Amino acid sequence: MIERVLAEFQRIEGVKASILLSESGKEIASLTYDDSLVEPFKNFTLPLLNSARRLCESLGEDLESIQIRTDMGQIVIFKVDGFLLIIVSEQVVNLGLINLQLKQGIEKFREAI
Amino acid sequence: MPLYVPKGEKIRSGEKIDVSELLEELKTMEFTGYIEVAYKTKEGFYLGFIFFSKGEEIIAGVEEVLKKTEYLGKEAFDKILSFKEPIVDVTELDNEKISLCIEYNPEEAFLKSLDELKEELEEPEYPTLRFGIKAENLVESVESNVKTYISRLKNFTGVINAKADDGEVIILLKDGKIRGAAYFNTSEAITGNLVLNLLNFRGKIDAYLKRPEEIEKIIKRNPELEIVDRSELFKKYRIKPPEEEEIESILRRVIEDEIFEEELKKKTPI
């Protein structure tokens, strides 16, 4: 159950939404109390990711994640084994805890998918 | 405040089951550990935990992860029971880890009083014999000849500790068979097969009951104690043990050689 793995991210203080997209941008699963937080990512994640990937390639590096700060909070996009994991949070959130959860979550995502 | 959930050994995973039935099952098997419950409704997504000590529910907590609402104790327990066939993982913990859960989790999550719980978990302190063997489950304490006493113990699995003025032995028995042995006195310590020749003495004997796997664990920790069955070894390496006559003839030859050498020395001029 993929949502269960996402629920572990949701338990982290400040996390508002956890979304799992396929590499093509299709929604696989999401958990949030506000569905309007999911919709924009379906359209804007791939172009954003492609630009970031090209930027990294021109630097001779590989893209692993993108972090965006807004006036309302933070968005972190991780590339995980052919999937995209998006965490939308408030401004104050423990990113270390999200990274730790990501390490544990990768294996669980593989099993669940 | 999220519950403290330690890592343990997952024995069941991702099963869609009725929680009350599972609770009955865990009670029967005197389970120590926790179950993790995931359940989705229109109102939200719930992640819940119930901790058990020897089959009894001791701590409960549920979190609705979208709105981050937390329920603890009896309220959480009832909520988990109300879930219709949630997805459940069962994880086993040892006593040490369950004690940590009691120490670190908020008191509101407890299903019974903290003092009661601590009292239940506390194990009585036992003295330790040599080789780290705990002197627990004493079944008999007698004055007898050690060899005779052991020969009478049919099917006994445990530890025999015999003390006399001039020495002490520790014998490990499994199903009445000696698996390990050690002898001590003020000047020496002997372990293994040689100890079997030193059991013919009278002393104060204490017999402690152990499980077969405990005996094997002690042997694994202290391999020098192990009693090696010679006939098994011969069989394993296909060695034919020498006959009495062969041994005698070898000894005779050695003695004769020594005598011959002595005589030779006397005859040889210096």
pLDDT tens readout for residues A35-84:
899 999 988 999 999 999 999 999 999 998 999 999 999 999 998 878 89
| The pLDDT of residue B135 | 84
CA B181 – CA B66 distance, rounded (Å): 62
The reported pLDDT for the residue numbered B100 is 86
E-assigned strand segments in chain B = 9-16, 33-40, 45-53, 56-64, 69-72, 87-92, 138-145, 158-164, 167-174, 177-184, 189-191, 202-209
CB-based contact, B66 to chain A, within 8 Å: yes
Enter the pTM of the model.
0.55
Structural domain total, chain B: 3
Highest mean pLDDT among A52-61, B197-206, B209-218, B225-234: A52-61
pLDDT band, residue B269 (cuts 50/70/90)? low
Could you tell me how far CA B75 lies from the centroid of its own chain? 38
Q: Which residues in chain B are closer than 8 Å to A8, comparing Cβ atoms?
A: 47
Position of tokens 């049919």?
B154
Q: Give the pLDDT confidence of B24-49 residue by residue, as tens digits.
A: 999 888 899 999 999 988 888 999 99
* Confidence category of residue B169, pLDDT binned at 50, 70, 90: very high
> How far apart, in whole angstroms, are the C-alpha atoms of residue B96 and residue B107?
18
B224 with B235, same domain?
A: no
**Helix B95-104 vs helix B114-121: angle between axes, to the nearest 10 degrees?**
160
Is there a single domain that holds both residue B112 and residue B147? no
Q: Tell me, yes or no, whether B60 and B134 share the same domain.
A: no
pLDDT, position B19: 92
Amino acid making up residue B139: V
Residue B196 lies in a domain: yes
3-state secondary structure of B72: strand
**Is B65 within 8 Å of A4 when comparing Cβ atoms?**
no
Beta strands in B21-75 (DSSP E): 33-40, 45-53, 56-64, 69-72
Question: Are B224 and B242 within one domain?
Answer: no
Using CB atoms and an 8 Å cut-off, which of residues 67-86 of chain B contact chain A? 67-68
The C-alpha atoms of residue B207 and residue B143 are separated, in whole angstroms, by: 11
Residues B155 and B220 in one domain: yes
Amino acid B270: pLDDT: 58
The answer to whether residue B172 is domain-embedded is yes
DSSP SS3 for B241: coil
Residue B78 C-alpha, separation from nearest chain A C-alpha, in angstroms = 21
User: Residue A76 is part of which domain span?
Assistant: 2-112
H/E element holding A84? strand A83-90
Residue B143 lies in a domain: yes
B15 and B93, same domain (yes or no):
yes
| Contact in structure between B75 and B68 (CB atoms under 8 Å) | no
Place of tokens 């908020």: B106
State how many domains chain A has: 1
Pairing of strands B56-64, B189-191: unpaired
Both tokens assigned to B43: 């109102």
The CATH number of residue A41's host domain is 3.30.450.30
Q: How far is A32 from chain B (nearest CA, A)?
A: 5
Distance of alpha carbon B100 from the chain centroid: 21
B63, part of any domain: yes
Using CA atoms of B183, B184, B185, B190 in order, give the dihedral in degrees to the nearest 10: 70
B141 shares a domain with B115: no
B260 three-state secondary structure:
helix
Residue B12, CA distances (Å) to A75, A94, A108, B26, B90 in order: 35, 31, 15, 12, 5
Expressed as residue numbers, the domain containing B258 is 231-270
Whether residue B169 lies inside any domain: the answer is yes
Instruction: Give the distance between the most distant pair of CA atoms in chain B.
Output: 113
**Residues B54-92 pLDDT 10s:** 889 999 999 998 888 999 999 999 999 999 989 999 999
**Could you tell me if B32 and B100 are in contact, meaning their C-beta atoms sit under 8 angstroms apart?**
no
Q: Is residue A31 within 8 angstroms of chain B, CB to CB?
A: yes
Structure tokens at B161: 């500790």
